[in-house]
Amino acid sequence: MVKVRDDQPLTATGDVDIGHWLERLQESVPLRDPQQMREVCELAKQLSLKAERPHKVWLPQDAGYRMGLKMADILALLKLDQPALEAAVLYRAVREGLISCEAVGRRFGREVAQLVDGVLQMAAIGNLQPPSSGLTQHDQHDNLRKMLVTMIDDVRVALIKIAERTCALRQVKHAPREKQQQVAREVFDIYAPLAHQLGIGQIKWELEDLSFRYLQEADYKTIARQLAEKRVDRDRYINDVVETIKGILVTQGIFRHDVSGRAKHIYSIWRKMKRKGIDFSQVNDVRAVRILVPEMADCYTVLGLVHSRWMHVPDEFDDYIANPKKNGYQSLHTAVLGPENKVLEIQIRTFAMHDEAELGVCAHWRYKGHDTGGKSNSYEEKISWLRQVLEWQDEVGDFGDLREGLASDVAPDRIYV
């Protein structure tokens, strides 16, 4: 799971302790040139101090380079390389006109500058609005085309932008309500679907939940309260189920495993309630367990063991291992009548499938490394996908269609560079 520590190591004067921060960063990803990474951070800090913000939206701890460090924290846990981390730290300074991409390139290399420039180009997506806002249909298509071309050229650009919007959405709670809804709408309509297409499940869930919090505040608070009211009983129930399943796996010789309660996502719960016309008490995945095992064959073995222990709920089984989702997601989903005759949702997959589900395209940095000098075997597939979407977007009629297109199955299973 992509869990980012939001606390930054501080000095006695309240500044970020860059040395300590770099040490912590390298626990997630190795740096090929730690000294250059430090120089990037120091420059971003100096530039941030020069920035004038007469109409502040962010608190001081969220300004400039500190936001860049938080972006880098996210990208490090996604296993991106040093040029991407450097681009993240410098992005806000370039966006605010404190330094040019050319100057970044001269000091830190062309690759870093190109990444920053690509993220700046992706900002055009935020300008996509219905024609009534003043943008013509051609303007909307042109902005979408720029974004897609940038993504196709180097997927790290899209990941940096997603990290930036994630940080912005986390911190927008300090902003006026109008700004909250503006950021939330942009993230919900563009960047959550984009994270879905890239297969970054954990980021997608967070973006959807935080956006939903501002866009449907009453519904969000109602579900959050209902979850909180039964949390103690639910946690006790799940802990008992987890221990039972662990015992079954050990008895069957599956010693390497991970069994845990699965996170409950408020937007997902709300969407299921609306889609099925049910109330909160009827949502199965409020009580949910995830089982991770080494091999694909183990998944089906565990499925048989679970169904032997508890009665399977009819019409509540999906085999996404044999039939993966278009974005590459693989897992077995089932629901059973567990202890106390309560419906319990169970997901079963391998450790590698879980990395794919959580990290998506980023999982390939973990296993294969990232070679920025070459193209992967899926390059032709990427180009084919781009052509399809560019043809499709000529028919885009309004802003809502854009989100549907990004969240649809038009894209290939993965986008690699």
At 171-214, the pLDDT tens digits run 998 899 999 999 999 899 888 888 887 778 889 999 999 999 99
More confident residue, 128 or 19: 19
CA–centroid distance for 210 within its chain: 12
10 and 17 Cβ atoms separated by less than 8 Å: yes
Q: What angle do CA 128, 212, 262 make, to 5 degrees?
A: 125
Question: Where does 228-357 sit in CATH, by number?
Answer: 3.30.460.10
pLDDT (mean) for 81-105: 96
Identify the bridge partners of residue 308 per DSSP, sorted by sequence position. none
Tell me: pLDDT of 41 over 70. yes
Q: Residue 367 — pLDDT band, cuts 50, 70, 90?
A: very low
Residue 272: Cβ within 10 Å count? 16
pTM: 0.77
Enumerate the β-bridge partners of residue 347: 290, 333
pLDDT value at residue 292: 98
Instruction: Determine contact, residues 329/289, Cβ cutoff 8 Å.
Output: no
Helix (H/G/I), strand (E/B), else coil: 315 = strand
Instruction: Say yes or no to pLDDT of 374 above 70.
Output: no
Whether the pLDDT of residue 364 is over 70: the answer is no
Alpha helices (runs of H) in 280-320, residue ranges in sequence order:
296-309
| Alpha carbon distance 259, 241 (integer Å) | 9
Helices (H), ranges, 252-309: 266-276, 296-309
pLDDT for res 356: 86
CB atoms within 10 A of CB 236: 10
- Tokens 């000091």 identify what position? 107
d(CA 234, CA 240): 10
CA distance 75 to 103: 23
- Averaged pLDDT, 297-309: 98
Instruction: List the beta bridge partners of residue 35.
Output: none
Average pLDDT, the chain: 81
Dump the DSSP string for 214-239: HHSHHHHHHHHHHHHHTHHHHHHHHH
DSSP secondary structure letter of residue 265: P
Average pLDDT of span 383-395: 46
Q: Do domains 18-200 and 228-357 have the same CATH topology?
A: no
Spatial separation of the C-alpha atoms in residues 156 and 374, rounded to whole Å: 14
Give the chain's count of helices (H) and strands (E). Answer: 19, 5
- Residue 84: name the closest of 47, 42, 114 by CA: 114
The dihedral region occupied by 109, where left means phi > 0, alpha psi between -120 and 50, and beta the remainder, is left
Find the DSSP H helices in 13-154.
18-25, 34-50, 64-77, 82-95, 101-108, 110-122, 137-153
Q: Where are the domains of the chain?
A: 18-200, 228-357
Would you tell me which CATH number, out of the four given (1.10.3210.10, 3.90.1150.10, 3.50.50.60, 3.40.50.920), belongs to the domain 18-200?
A: 1.10.3210.10
Give the distance, in angstroms, between the CA of residue 156 and the centroid of all CA atoms in the same chain.
13
Give the span between the Cα atoms of 406 and 417, in whole angstroms: 19
Three-state DSSP class for residue 259: strand
pLDDT tens digits, 115-155 = 999 999 887 655 554 444 444 555 554 555 555 555 556 88
Neighbours of 158 (CB within 10 A): 25
Q: Which residue has the higher pLDDT, 312 or 12?
A: 312
Q: Which tokens belong to 31?
A: 């740096």
